[in-house]
Amino acid sequence: MKDRMMQTFDMYPQPQWSFIGYTPDLVVINLGSNDFSTKPHPLKEEFMAAYDIIIKNIRTKYGNIPVLCVAPPLRGMAFEYIKEYCDNANDPKLFFTAYLAGVHNRDSDLGSVGHPNYNGQRKIAQNLIPYISTITGWPLENKPVK
């Protein structure tokens, strides 16, 4: 992902994403599941170095905005590595969380190649919204997530 994160489209190196004209209030990174879904798994040093590149790119482009690092829900290498990275980053605007295991249904909430479909994404979002509200100070609204 560190090699593709600047691309506008996943499979094409051009055009590059333009960071000009818009700075988000928050960046959410949800990476790590695929790194450990097949073997060989990345070495800890490789994973941590790649994650560091991603965070540094975000900081270079967007400055000191809050960054929420979301780990896969089940404790495993990705969870542990991302948590360790965040714990050791010495960055007060870098946050860690994982969404709850079982938050989406494996039969009806997954789509292409096991990735969450629209309904699965909504469930994950509803799980993360209270923490995002805490990080940003945004009020929670009493309306459905669409």
Share of the chain above pLDDT 70, in %: 99
The pLDDT score that the predictor gives to residue 47 is 93
Greater pLDDT, 128 or 100? 128
The pLDDT score that the predictor gives to residue 7 is 80
Q: Which fold has domain 26-136?
A: Rossmann fold (3.40.50)
Non-local CB neighbours of 98 within 8 Å, separated by 6+ positions? 70, 71, 72, 73, 79
Two tokens, residue 10: 């996943």
Q: What is the pLDDT of residues 34-77, one digit of tens each?
A: 888 888 989 999 999 999 999 999 999 999 999 999 998 777 89
Kindly report the backbone phi and psi dihedral angles of residue 28, in degrees, each rounded to the nearest multiple of 5, phi listed first: -110, 125
Place 1 in a pLDDT band, splitting at 50, 70 and 90.
low
Tell whether the model's pLDDT for residue 121 goes beyond 80: yes
The pLDDT score that the predictor gives to residue 76 is 87
Place 2 in a pLDDT band, splitting at 50, 70 and 90.
low
pTM for the structure as a whole: 0.88
Mean pLDDT across the stretch 11-25? 87
